[in-house]
Structure 1
Amino acid sequence: MTLEPEQLGRSKADLAETLRDLRKRAGLTGDRLAKRCAMSQSKISKIETGKTTASLVDVERILRAVEAPPELVSEVMALARMANTEWQDKRSSWRRGLEKRQAELAALESESTEMRYFLPSILTGLLATPEYVRASLTHSPGDKSKTVSRKLERQAVLYDSSKRFTFLLTEQAVRWPVIPASGMAVQLDRLAALSRLPNIEIGVIPGEVTIPRGPLNTFTIYDDRLATAETFTGRIVFQDGRDVAQYREVFDMYAGFAIYGDDARDYLATRVQSLLQDL
């Protein structure tokens, strides 16, 4: 059996259909395949009907069980990675309403226990002052008042002591003038205050630190189950454990170059003084 790449529809439904077809071609019942893969028959059924998206590990086990040829393995594994990755374009978010995106983020934050944010150029809404939030939405279409309100409402999650937050900021994120100097000074004071909460860690990566790997984009990790990466035109959602683990490795690498606690607060205070002197 040979599948051309264009036939692999790059969707969860196509992955389910492909795996189901492979099982049938191998002459296996769902129960027999489940035993070979050390899975439950109900899980195999959910994977083949698209009710559950098979992880890369699940797909590897199934491919071994059906004795798929090497050339097919690479194609199906590529499809599996695509099925575990979702593209959310910004224009669609605009059409649905930005406040709905805020509801989705609030749900993610509610369901997560440990969240990690890598911020190479701009602050996330959870950390932002009202002025900073409004300015960050300048280029978004339509009425932004509801979105501003939703972003500020989401900040209540920071005070939930059952959750842990780590924010990594580069010097550029600290310095980028989204709002005038007086507003940026207030914004940096807020960062320093939040860093004193026991469940929040804010790290700053100074600009003079030598780091061989450049910061490509903003990304967020929710527990160890999901990661999102931001681009100018949308966001990519990674749900496969291996992708999430890679983002965790990158996060931990950058975290090793950051300063925290009093050192970070002193750094922010110095920047605030510089901003106020320029007024």
Structure 2
Amino acid sequence: MAEQELSPRRARLAARLRELRLRRFRSGSEFARAIDWQQTKVSRLERGAQLPRGPEELQVWVSATGGSDEDLAELTDLLARARLDYRAWGDAWRTPGGIAATQDDIAALDAQATRIAEYQPAMVPGLVQTPGYAREVLSVAGGPVVLGAREDQIEERIAAQVRRQEVLYAPGKTIQLVMGEAALRTRFGERATLVGQLDRLVALAGLANVEIGVLRFDVPAPVLPLHGWAINDSSVVWVETLTGEQRLDDPDEVAAYVAAFDAALAAAARGDEAVELIRALL
């Protein structure tokens, strides 16, 4: 998977791990053999592309490198902070080109993933939004405008989002999108815009590598509709809020979101049933 720019918290943890390793081992491969880990795992930990699973792995690292109890305590604190990896949208909107760059980051990750899965309880996922629908979503009074987003920045964001959608047509991908029936009925602006969005969903449902699911109102909800999330290759989860986005790659947390998504997918109307439901609303 392509890696986005590290947050300061992840970068600090990665740097400290490498500093400790260099006390006794000149190379990551030598260290990996000593502790019976894969070299790729050591490399990803030292680059911040992956976080240690927990205190047990930190203890292995510290013991093998001759670290102290103080080193272990420091790493434990750094890991706790890194797990709160969070990108604030306000910073992106205030930085020229920043909000478009966030979409380009996500597009790079999507390009490397073989499975992309997303759940949205009441909104059409960004990966399949029409420019008109995206414009209305991003322009609502309680949306990015409260963070200072300008009209020209919103247009930059939409252009980047459209570029990201090229992944829908890339070979070797499995793209699964599940949304609540509310997503098909929630209107952010003109009725015609929503009609155009639903029409696009019908068209995309015909792509071989794209699966669209709808959780009907008359079916018991299989997941808590607290928020939406996206999953790349069952290895990282992105949870988006009004003000930012949190990255989760703790294996236990990722597994929980994967299980929740799979439950939603199993209960959703898919294929012809989903298309019939969308067409009925059209």
Give the stretch that moved more between structures: 37-46 or 210-219. 37-46
Alignment of 1:177-188 (within 5 A): 177-188=187-198
Q: Residue deviations 1:148-183, cap 9 Å, x none?
A: 222223222211132121000101111111232222
| Counterpart residue number, 2:131 | 130
- Kindly name which structure, 1 or 2, has the bigger radius of gyration based on alpha carbons: 1
| Counterpart residue number, 2:219 | 209
- Structure 1 unpaired stretches of 5+: 1-8, 273-279
Aligned-partner Cα distance in 1 for 2:41–2:123: 42
Alignment of 1:123-202 (within 5 A): 123-138=124-139, 139-140=144-145, 141-142=149-150, 143=152, 144-202=154-212
Check 1:29–1:148 CA distance in 2 against 1; reply closer, same or farther (3 A cut). Answer: closer
Check 1:176–1:83 CA distance in 2 against 1; reply closer, same or farther (3 A cut). Answer: same
| Counterpart residue number, 1:38 | 36
| Counterpart residue number, 1:114 | 115
> Is residue 2:251 matched to residue 1:241?
yes
- Structure 2 unpaired stretches of 5+: 1-7
* Contact map agreement 1:85 1:240 (CA 8 A) in 2: no
Which secondary structure state, in structure 1, belongs to the residue aligned with residue 267 of structure 2?
Answer: coil
Aligned-partner Cα distance in 2 for 1:54–1:114: 18
Shift of 1:100: 1.6
Which secondary structure state, in structure 2, belongs to the residue aligned with residue 189 of structure 1?
Answer: helix
Aligned-partner Cα distance in 1 for 2:41–2:262: 33
Aligned-partner Cα distance in 2 for 1:260–1:46: 37
Aligned-partner Cα distance in 2 for 1:113–1:40: 22
Shift of 1:34: 4.9
Which secondary structure state, in structure 2, belongs to the residue aligned with residue 147 of structure 1?
Answer: helix
Aligned-partner Cα distance in 2 for 1:34–1:146: 44
Q: Which amino acid aligns with 2:37?
A: M
* Contact map agreement 1:129 1:187 (CA 8 A) in 2: yes
TM-score, normalised relative to structure 2: 0.76
Shift of 1:73: 7.8
Aligned-partner Cα distance in 2 for 1:74–1:211: 42
Q: Residue deviations 1:203-255, cap 9 Å, x none?
A: 00011222364211111111122210011110001133333222111111211
Aligned-partner Cα distance in 1 for 2:269–2:115: 20
Check 1:29–1:146 CA distance in 2 against 1; reply closer, same or farther (3 A cut). Answer: closer
Alignment of 1:37-56 (within 5 A): 37-39=35-37, 47=45, 50-52=46-48, 55-56=51-52
* Contact map agreement 1:119 1:173 (CA 8 A) in 2: yes
* Contact map agreement 2:53 2:250 (CA 8 A) in 1: no
Aligned-partner Cα distance in 2 for 1:258–1:79: 40
* Contact map agreement 2:115 2:233 (CA 8 A) in 1: yes
Check 1:185–1:12 CA distance in 2 against 1; reply closer, same or farther (3 A cut). Answer: same
Aligned-partner Cα distance in 2 for 1:62–1:178: 47
> Is residue 2:65 matched to residue 1:89?
no
Aligned-residue Cα RMSD (Å) equals: 3.4
Aligned-partner Cα distance in 2 for 1:241–1:168: 22
Shift of 1:17: 3.3
Aligned length: 258
Aligned-partner Cα distance in 2 for 1:239–1:196: 32
Which secondary structure state, in structure 2, belongs to the residue aligned with residue 61 of structure 1?
Answer: helix
Check 1:75–1:245 CA distance in 2 against 1; reply closer, same or farther (3 A cut). Answer: farther
Aligned-partner Cα distance in 2 for 1:88–1:242: 21
Aligned-partner Cα distance in 1 for 2:240–2:40: 35
Aligned-partner Cα distance in 2 for 1:196–1:158: 11
Shift of 1:52: 4.2
Which secondary structure state, in structure 2, belongs to the residue aligned with residue 204 of structure 1?
Answer: strand
Q: Which amino acid aligns with 1:17?
A: R
